[in-house]
């Protein structure tokens, strides 16, 4: 398998070539069909706002969990009912070992504890705050993506990231370590990161015939690879992908909790790595073998690793993963609609 950086394929013929990779178009069509089925549900004629709010909450909780800051949905609901997303954090008597830095099921120590907050709630609440503002951010994202990313980091990191680092590009050297919750390895040098961000911005403002899920997956993968801020970059990457789906009309009301789909796929990391096409080498099988025992998010992490280091094959693995996550998310929101219809 080629191990050239994913930037090689993206520079050649960016989004059209990505959409033409093996299995990508089929995966995108399947995801689109699932979302269209959701959008036709009768409940959305009167209660789309409730479904959007529920999807946003579930997506935010799952997004923070993928970054290593996990609490249960019930605990999050209880906290929001008491205090709201800007409310006070729990005191020491309310925390337990798992929240204060115990080793998580991914085999890494919770970064909230490592940076001194002692509880995942600052990041979880910041993610809730960010996801609640995504609809408002769409115009800024479509006009000036890099400025929108900085604003997103400010919304997210308040109370966790030092004020003088909010919304600012990371430095190559400094006192704060660059966080790597997905274990993707060191990010590119800050100069290369800036160049690639400019290239990504160019892709976003240029016309393309690629499906929205392909665009969202490329944005998501590039931001995971670049880690432009050095902290909470995964949350920013997933939020930016959600912005693409909203702004490009695939999920205009933000009804799908795509991050929940990423979590669900963690139970079977190898499933998306194979190309169901006679005669093709099953690209990416090596990544599945690298999954850590007990890693609940292995599917997401291994697909991201494929994007970062797997060339064209890795990009295809990643986009198919993202499309499947969207499909699963649409089905979950469909179940929410059915539950509302029975009430």
Write the DSSP assignment of 211-233 as a string of letters: -HHHHHHHHHHHHHHH-SSSSSH
CATH number for position 39:
1.10.3290.10
CB atoms within 10 A of CB 314: 28
What is the pLDDT, as a whole number, of residue 84? 65
Structure tokens at 75: 């605990």
Token pair 């036709």 in the structure block, residue: 40
State whether residue 43 is helix, strand or coil. coil
* Residue 322 Cα to chain centre, angstroms: 9
Whether residue 221 is contained in a domain is answered as yes
Q: Which domain holds residue 119?
A: 7-342
Domain membership of residue 21 (yes or no) is yes
> What is the per-residue DSSP string for 157-187?
HTTTS-GGGTT-PPPSSSSSPPP-TT---PP
Question: Which residues are CB-contacts of 259 (< 8 A; sequence separation ≥ 6)?
Answer: 58, 59, 60, 62, 63, 66, 238, 325, 329
Long-range contacts formed by 132-136: CB under 8 A, 24+ apart: 132/56, 132/60, 132/85, 134/56, 134/239, 134/242, 134/243, 134/246, 134/254, 135/246, 135/254
Residue 2, in any domain of the structure: no
* Listed residue (220, 289, 239, 24) closest to 138, CA to CA: 239
What is the number of other CB atoms lying within 10 angstroms of the CB of residue 166?
18
Evaluate whether residue 1 is within a structural domain: no
Mean pLDDT of successive 10-residue stretches along the chain, which has 343 residues: 48 79 96 96 94 95 94 93 64 38 35 49 94 94 94 93 90 71 92 93 90 97 96 97 97 95 73 40 36 63 93 95 96 94 88
Total structural domains in the chain? Answer: 1
Residue 175 counted as domain residue? yes
């Amino acid at each position: 398998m080629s191990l050239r950086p994913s930037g090689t394929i993206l520079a050649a013929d960016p989004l059209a070539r990505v959409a033409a990779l093996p299995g990508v178009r089929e995966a995108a069509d399947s995801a689109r069909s699932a979302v269209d089925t959701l959008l036709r549900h009768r409940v959305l004629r009167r209660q789309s706002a409730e479904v959007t709010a529920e999807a946003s909450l579930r997506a935010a909780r799952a997004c923070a969990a993928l970054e290593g800051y996990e609490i249960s949905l019930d605990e999050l609901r209880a906290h929001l009912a008491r205090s709201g997303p800007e409310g006070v954090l729990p005191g020491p008597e309310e925390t337990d070992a798992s929240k204060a830095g115990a080793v998580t099921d991914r085999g890494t120590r919770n970064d909230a504890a490592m940076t001194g907050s002692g509880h995942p709630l600052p990041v979880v609440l910041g993610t809730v705050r960010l996801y609640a503002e995504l609809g408002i951010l769409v115009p800024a994202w479509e006009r000036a993506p890099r400025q929108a990313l900085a604003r997103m980091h400010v919304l997210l990191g308040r109370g966790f990231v030092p004020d003088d680092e909010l919304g600012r590009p990371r430095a190559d050297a400094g006192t704060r370590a660059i966080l790597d919750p997905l274990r993707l390895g060191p990010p590119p040098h800050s100069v290369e990161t800036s160049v690639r961000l400019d290239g990504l911005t160019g892709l976003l403002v240029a016309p393309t015939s690629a499906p929205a899920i392909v665009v969202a997956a490329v944005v998501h993968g590039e931001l995971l690879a670049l880690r432009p801020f050095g902290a909470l970059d995964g949350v920013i990457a997933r939020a930016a992908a959600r912005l693409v789906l909203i702004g490009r009309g695939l999920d205009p009301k933000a009804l799908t909790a795509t991050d929940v789909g990423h979590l669900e796929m963690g139970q079977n990391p190898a499933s998306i790595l194979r190309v169901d096409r006679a005669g093709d080498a099953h690209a990416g099988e090596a990544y599945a073998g690298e999954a850590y025992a007990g890693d609940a998010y292995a599917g997401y992490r291994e697909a991201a690793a494929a994007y970062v280091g797997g060339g064209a094959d890795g990009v295809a693995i990643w986009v198919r993963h993202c499309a499947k996550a969207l499909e699963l998310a649409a089905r979950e929101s469909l179940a929410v609609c059915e539950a509302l219809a029975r009430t």
